[in-house]
Amino acid sequence: MTGTGVGEALVTLTDVSAGYGNTHVLHDINFAVREDQFTGILGPSGAGKTTMLRLLLGSLKPQSGTITRAPKLAVSYVPQLETVDWNFPITVFECVLMSRTARRILPWATPGEKADVASVLERLGIGDLAHRHIRELSGGQQQRMFLARALLRKPAMLLLDEPTSGVDFSTRHDVLHLLADLHEDGMSIVLTTHDLNGMAAHLPHLVCVNHHVVASGTPQEVITPEVLEGTFGARMEVLQHLGVPVVVDDSRAAG
Amino acid sequence: MTSILEPLQFAFFQKGLLVAALSGALLGFIGVYIVLRGMSYIGHGLSHAIFGGFAAMQLFAAELYVVGAGFWGVLSAISITAVARRSRVGADAAIGVITTASFALGVALFAKFGTSGPSFENALFGSILGISAAQIWGLVGVSLLTVAVVFLRYRVLLFTTFDPDVAQASGVRVARVEALLMIILSLAILATLTVIGVTLVAAMLVIPAVIARMLTNSFGRMLALSTGIGALCGLVGMYLSYYASVPSGTMIVLVGAAVFLVVLSITGARGLRRTAGLDSHRESVGTAR
């Protein structure tokens, strides 16, 4: 698997412009998510990363252009950790079970649902935390719980909003490996990030966005001083370390 | 013992106790969703808006004024949601404008034309006098409807309360669920208005739910506890109002506040920590910018 997407297109954005009210956030976006794709949408704050995620998700309609999606496409979305109230009175099990909302009418879980939740929690290494209150989890465990909830829907495409924002180094490492495993299993993954060295450089495919698509390709192709300047508006130096690009501030340029 | 049983010999008091307990239970039950959604102010605003409908519909709809006021309440609820969703005005400002205008209209109509139903003071602070069989059946009906809706839409209500953005992304029609909750809330306020009173309904939506939250980390148990605490406050408050000769609503709320203080002294900082975030207004991918 290459991660750059070689299979059927799941969602295709053609000449899409999008925004809110009279404000345009994204212009002329041409981008497709295919089977076998593992893409990071890279850009600074306010560049339109989240707007792009919303377009893929279908929660935002384009102002112009067209979006086509594969029939009966199952999409799961993992929000940023800080978007929910962690004091909310539910356990890990109850949170993960929420994914089954559409299929069931009665409040309680069936034995089959209990087994499914236990299995997905086990897979993500938090099987023993099922009956803990969500506040009692560490940042990494909370991220795994959200992933478990997303995976319970058995999605073909997984969208994640800044999955490593605000988590420590080891959690970031864990999340990255977890996502790589899911991609190995055949899931298409698109995430947003502004973390160049910790996240973007380790992904198979990147799309650099700053209100329009500045560049797309492998990290080796797009993590260059020119593309980064076009994306972030600042000059940066790119070094190579064990075949992975490493970005450092260009202090001479800053000076 | 005789003095405790004394008020029970009166039929009006028996009805009052039943209605107070059921009102407390109903508001406690719905209050869990209102409090966890950070919508406490909506309960406050909506009860004031319904007061306007209450007064206006007594003039225009005669015996059917309760039905008219119900429509008024539902309309107010839906307008609040729509204004808050579609415009740059925040939910709190939208509620402030729509509900206080409706309340002012009610006060003006009361002052100008009087009322054929409850007095101005009774409508504001609650009374057990003049509770009709129709009101009791109305309250029972709204309670059954609420329990049925929550039972059948339990998972959707829980999902949209905890994480509306992901619920939306998972195919849940969040706006429809919100509207359903608003309709149920309007009907509950209307059904409990005469006993608890306009100004105090909001307190009974919030107090039992907050107390329940301080006592448990489980959503299911919070629902059960809040309902029980609401019923208990209604019952004890109604009883005490008989002896203290004060409006029933005020005493019910005071009992709720006393229970809150007792629970706070027992659970201390742990209980308070659990209630942190109840006023949070969350924004993310699904609905906000």
Q: Do B283 and A83 touch (CB under 8 A)?
A: yes
Report the residue of chain B nearest A136, measured CA to CA: B217
> Which of B126, B104, B115, B133 shows the shortest CA–CA distance to B27?
B126
Domain total for chain B? Answer: 1
Q: Which domain holds residue B186?
A: 2-275
Residue A84 has its nearest CB partner, among B163, B220, B222, at B163
Report the residue of chain A nearest B32, measured CA to CA: A89
Cβ of B150: how many Cβ atoms within 10 Å? Answer: 19
What is the average pLDDT score of chain A? 86
Q: What percent of chain A has pLDDT over 70?
A: 94
Residue A88 has its nearest CB partner, among B36, B170, B216, at B36
What value of ipTM does the predicted structure carry? 0.84
Report the residue of chain A nearest B157, measured CA to CA: A101
Is residue B120 pLDDT above 60, yes or no? yes
Q: Which CATH fold topology does A1-74+155-216 show?
A: Rossmann fold (3.40.50)
| Mean pLDDT to the nearest integer, B133-161 | 91
Model confidence at B117, pLDDT cuts 50, 70, 90, reads low
Q: Which residues contact A205 (CB under 8 A, 6 or more apart)?
A: A3, A4, A5, A37, A38, A39, A40, A216, A217, A218
Report the residue of chain A nearest B156, measured CA to CA: A101
CATH code of the domain in which B245 resides: 1.10.3470.10
Residue of higher predicted confidence among B269 and B117: B269
Residue A101 has its nearest CB partner, among B151, B170, B280, at B170
Q: Is residue B289 part of a domain?
A: no
On chain A, the residues whose CB falls within 8 A of the CB of B279 are none
Lowest mean pLDDT among A159-163, B110-114, B262-266: B110-114
Extract the tokens encoding B150. Answer: 């929550």
Give kind and range of the element (H or E) at residue A15.
strand A9-20
On chain A, the residues whose CB falls within 8 A of the CB of B154 are 106-107
Alpha-carbon separation of residue B184 from B26, B38, B46, B99, B171 (angstroms): 10, 17, 12, 17, 22
The pLDDT tens digits of the residues spanning B159-189 come to: 999 998 889 888 888 888 988 898 899 889 8
Q: In sequence order, what DSSP letters do the residues of B91-103 get, joined into one string? A: HHHHHHHHHHHHH
**Residues on A contacting B at a C-beta cutoff of 8 Å:** 20, 50, 53-54, 57-59, 75-80, 83-91, 94-95, 97-102, 104-107, 133, 135, 149, 153, 159, 161
Is residue B217 pLDDT above 80, yes or no? yes
Q: Is residue B288 part of a domain?
A: no
Contact by Cβ (8 Å): A142, A134: yes
Cβ of A246: how many Cβ atoms within 10 Å? Answer: 14
The pLDDT tens digits of the residues spanning A110-146 come to: 899 999 999 999 988 899 999 999 999 988 889 899 9
Q: Do A85 and B282 touch (CB under 8 A)?
A: yes
Q: Is residue B149 part of a domain?
A: yes
User: Residue B281: its pLDDT value, please?
Assistant: 41
- Where do the domains of chain A lie? 1-74+155-216, 83-154
On chain A, the residues whose CB falls within 8 A of the CB of B267 are none
Cα distance from B285 to chain A (closest Cα, Å)?
6
User: Residue B289: its pLDDT value, please?
Assistant: 32
Virtual CA dihedral for A104, A110, A112, A118, nearest 10 degrees?
A: 100
On chain A, the residues whose CB falls within 8 A of the CB of B214 are none
Contact by Cβ (8 Å): B212, B226: yes
Model confidence at A28, pLDDT cuts 50, 70, 90, reads very high
Q: Is residue B283 part of a domain?
A: no
Model confidence at A65, pLDDT cuts 50, 70, 90, reads very high
On chain A, the residues whose CB falls within 8 A of the CB of B29 are none
Q: Is residue B286 part of a domain?
A: no
Q: Is residue B202 part of a domain?
A: yes
Phi and psi angles of residue A240, each rounded to the nearest 5 degrees, phi first: -115, 130
The pLDDT tens digits of the residues spanning B13-25 come to: 888 889 999 999 9
